[in-house]
Every structure is written in C-alpha cells, then in structure tokens.
Amino acid sequence: MFKLFLDPGHGGKDSGATGNGLMEKNITLKICQLIRDRLQNEYEGIDILMSRTGDSYPTLPSRTEKANAWGADFYLSVHVNSGGATGFESFIYPGVGQPTTSYQNTIHQEIVKATGFYDRGKKQGDFHVLRESRMPALLTENGFIDNIEDAAKLKDPNFIEKIAKGHAQGIVKIANLKPITPKDSAG
C-alpha cells in the first residue's frame, strides 16, 4: 500500500497568493481533491491522507507532523506561484538525492505534459514541508496567479483537471499503481 500525503497549500486565514480575482488556497484545495478522487476511484494499492479537506489553516509544523506520524511514503504539496512570471516549477529539498530526485523528474514531466505549461525547471528549495517531512517530498508551483494568461487557465475547470491529471499520472508511475480491475460479476 502506497501512502500518499496530499498537502493543499495555505487555507483559512492564509489565502496564499492572490491575483486576477483568484486565491491560491482555493485552487490548491481543488487540485488536491481532484488528485485524490482520480487516484482513489481508478487505482488500487493507494492510501491518501490530506493536510486539509476544507478551508482551514493547519500550521506548517502540524502538516509535517501529521504526515510523519502517519508514516507517509510520499509528501506532495501543491501551490500556485506569484511574482508576474509564467509557467510551472517544482521543488525538492537541496541535496536530498534518490529516490526524491527520480520522483521529481517523473511527476514534473507528467505535469508539464498534461498542462502544456511553460517549463521553468526542476528546482531545490529549503521549505518547511520539504525539510521537516521524513519521507520523499515534492512541492509544485502551478502557474502564476498574478499573470493574466496563467490566471485565465487557473479559472478554467478543464485546465484544473489537467493539472490534477498530471500530478496523478506522476504518482501512478512512482508508486507503480495498477488500475482497479472490474470484479467478475459471474462470480
């Protein structure tokens, strides 16, 4: 059983980045709900726990403590960028090595493929959720909320589905998940 900890960035009092009428916390929750639904409905051998399932604000330490206590196999934190640029980038903890680097390569590639986002590259960052999680961890930054073209994509439910699909496809590959096989109704 592959234990996936899904962390929608921000929430509650912490809206995250804002722009073009959008709040990061709402987009990250929607993406993570879609990743969860897709994996749970279509694949076996996966167990998913989320840092939040609604508009609440768990602190960063409470998020990583929850993942550590649960014994997650992988920590996936989903965010939306700001700062006026465009495209997708992902982060792992500096110098963390394998298997995290392979996980980043695989998931990053699947997201770029699914979304067509401009590829800003695979990066390293000393972020709390990457540093304090005791399992391979990846943080994704899905477009720029304050870029008019990225924001238009983030407002489109079909595009949000594509972002979720890319993350889910990456998880399927790194965890080697098998599609749920229909039960033989003839018994």
State the residues that interact with Zn ion by CB under 5 A: 9, 16, 79
| Gap between the Cα atoms of 9 and 52, Å rounded | 9
* Cis peptide bond prior to 99, omega within 30° of 0: yes
Q: Which of 3, 7, 4 is CA-nearest to residue 139?
A: 7
Annotated catalytic residue 141: yes
Which residue, 9 or 11, is less far from Zn ion as judged by CB?
A: 9
Which residue, 25 or 165, is less far from Zn ion as judged by CB?
A: 25
Q: Which residues pair with 138 in a beta bridge?
A: 76
Which residue, 16 or 143, is less far from Zn ion as judged by CB?
A: 16
Long-range contacts of 52-59 (CB under 8 A, 24+ apart): 52/8, 52/11, 53/29, 54/11, 54/29, 55/11, 55/12, 55/25, 55/26, 55/29, 56/11, 56/12, 57/10, 57/11, 57/12, 57/13, 57/14, 58/11
Catalytic residue of the set 89, 141, 149, 161: 141
Q: Which of 67, 62, 37, 38 is CA-nearest to residue 50?
A: 67
Which residue, 52 or 79, is less far from Zn ion as judged by CB?
A: 79
Residues serving a catalytic function are: 141
